[in-house]
């Protein structure tokens, strides 16, 4: 796969990048992007070729690919960034590694550094801590335990109200192979990264940051988010409820409001 990043944009004003999660879609941002385009030049990159690159990019390399994308497409400009989940992790990494490129960063239910040990569901901690090959993951997903894992993952990463309650635990054949490939790839990224490096980097980060998280998020609990906020020196923390992990789809107006207020305050300062 090419690492070339395509993107959609709308609106005029200061540039705001919206980064979707791993296995997610640019369409998850549609309502938020439409709302924020009244005040900003909203850019939504399609990161699928970066996340799922066939040559397996380390998380650190993905950060550099995004930094190059920003430098080439918005030269001489500091951009605002908002990221969800894995896109949130890339957002805080960009802000910490390339402060010359980032003005503000809004994190929505972000993946925290060294995430596996902080995952709330024990099923996720198990699947992402053991170095299984692709075939083993496929076989495991075909078992009742694997079906339970898929059902649990769907509860976290899908908005059933808008996407429909498809029974992912009943996937077979090519569709199950694709899911196994995504899990295998993601597991490699999480296990291969030097998270201690990022913990040290984030400890010294003191940029313009707002953390927005749902206190009932099923991926990380509020203690993990608050500890992460303290670690990166982020005092601007917004706690929401009833949004779930995919908050940008379930409550787009609320998330848009929090992002807009944060950037406006930072620009005014």
Q: Give alpha helix (H) positions in the chain.
A: 30-36, 48-51, 59-73, 86-97, 122-129, 134-141, 144-157, 160-163, 173-192, 195-203, 222-231, 247-250, 252-268
pLDDT for res 173 = 85
Closest alpha carbon to 228 in 244, 212, 240, 216: 212
Give the tens place of pLDDT for each residue, 36-55.
999 999 999 999 889 888 78
pLDDT tens for each residue of 135-163: 999 998 898 888 888 888 888 887 544 44
* pLDDT (0 to 100) of residue 163: 47
pLDDT < 70: residue spans in the chain? 1-2, 159-170
**Nearest Cα to Cα of residue 92 among 231, 268, 258:** 231
What are the sequence ranges of the domains in the chain? 6-116+194-268, 120-192
Residue with tokens 């010359």: 100
Q: Which CATH class is domain 6-116+194-268?
A: alpha beta
């Amino acid at each position: 796969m090419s690492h070339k990043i395509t993107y959609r944009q709308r609106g005029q004003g200061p540039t705001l990048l919206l980064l979707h999660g791993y296995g997610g879609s640019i369409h998850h941002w549609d309502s938020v992007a439409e709302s924020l385009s009244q005040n900003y030049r909203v850019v939504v990159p399609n990161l699928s070729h970066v996340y799922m690159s066939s040559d397996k990019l380390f998380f650190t390399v993905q950060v550099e690919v995004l930094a190059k994308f920003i430098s080439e497409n918005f030269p001489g400009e500091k951009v605002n960034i908002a990221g969800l989940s894995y896109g949130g992790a890339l957002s805080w990494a960009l802000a910490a590694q390339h402060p010359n490129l980032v003005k503000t960063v809004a994190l929505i239910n972000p993946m925290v550094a060294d995430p596996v040990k902080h995952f709330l569901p024990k099923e996720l901690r198990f699947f992402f801590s053991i170095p299984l090959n692709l075939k083993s993951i496929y076989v495991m997903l075909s078992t009742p335990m694997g079906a339970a894992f898929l059902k649990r993952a769907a509860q976290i990463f899908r908005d059933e109200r808008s996407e429909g309650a498809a029974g992912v635990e009943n996937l077979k054949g090519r569709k199950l192979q694709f899911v196994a490939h995504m899990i295998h790839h993601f597991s490699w990224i999480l296990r291969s990264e030097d998270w201690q490096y990022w913990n040290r980097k984030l400890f010294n980060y003191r940029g313009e940051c707002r953390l927005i998280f749902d206190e009932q998020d099923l991926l990380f609990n509020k203690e993990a988010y608050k500890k992460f906020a303290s670690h990166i020196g982020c005092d601007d923390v917004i706690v929401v409820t009833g949004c779930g992990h995919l908050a940008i789809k379930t409550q787009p107006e609320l998330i848009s409001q929090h992002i807009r207020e944060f950037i406006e305050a930072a620009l005014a300062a």
